Amino acid sequence: LKLGIDIDGVLADFTRSYGELLVEVSGRKLLPEDFYKGWEPSTWYWERELGYTKEEEAKAWEVINNPKERFWTMLDLIDDSAEHYHMLRAINRDNDLYFITSRPGKSALRQTKEWIGDCYDIDDPNVLICHQKGLACAALELDRYLDDKGENIQNCHLHSPKTEAMLLNMPYNAEFNVLHRVDSVEFAFTHGGC
């Protein structure tokens, strides 16, 4: 099958690194007490809810966008278990898998390829940097696509109705009205005949 998968919030723990970066650039520790103990944001712009200012946000993104910082190569895996590692490698081996992300920054593509190579020992992973996930799904004629952002799945429904677009269940996307929701990467790609 032809499959697509988002990275941040699905495979990579962007929230953790971004939170740490906000503390670093602002000098203000506004993260919740259980930040390292399974905390999950309940809104998309959780940093604003925690009290970080637009200026502090911008400072963090300046770091992320600076290729020298290599931010995208340093994220933790959401699931660092051996089971997850082998599962993702098997999905990549047995299908045409595209990693589709809207990460910004001049070297986001290269950094992302490097991160996937490091985490999963996948040589030359198929990475696309693009905001229009639905158009990407249509152009690539993907059978399935998984993302954690509600708008992206709605965009897929709109532009690529033949793609089975699935939303990964998270507290911050609970209100989105989409056709398919799944609880895990495994469920999205290993159930139903992949």
Residue nearest to Mg ion (CB): 9
CA–CA separation, 5 and 182 (whole Å): 13
3-state secondary structure 4-27: EECCECCCECHHHHHHHHHHHHHC
Contact with Mg ion (CB under 5 A) among 3, 4, 5, 6: 6
Taking the complex as a whole, the smallest distance from the CB of residue 193 to Mg ion amounts, in Å, to 25
| CA 102, 103, 105, 108 torsion-angle sign | negative
Taking the complex as a whole, the smallest distance from the CB of residue 147 to Mg ion amounts, in Å, to 6
Q: Give the residue with the Cβ less far from Mg ion, 56 or 147.
A: 147
Which runs of consecutive H residues, i.e. helices, occur in 5-126? 14-26, 46-50, 54-65, 82-94, 108-120
Residues 139-178 within binding reach of Mg ion (CB under 5 A): 148
Q: Which region among 7-15, 78-86, 102-110, 185-193 touches Mg ion (by CB under 5 A)?
A: 7-15
Residues 8-47 within binding reach of Mg ion (CB under 5 A): 8-9
- Contacts with Mg ion by CB under 5 A lie at 6, 8-9, 148
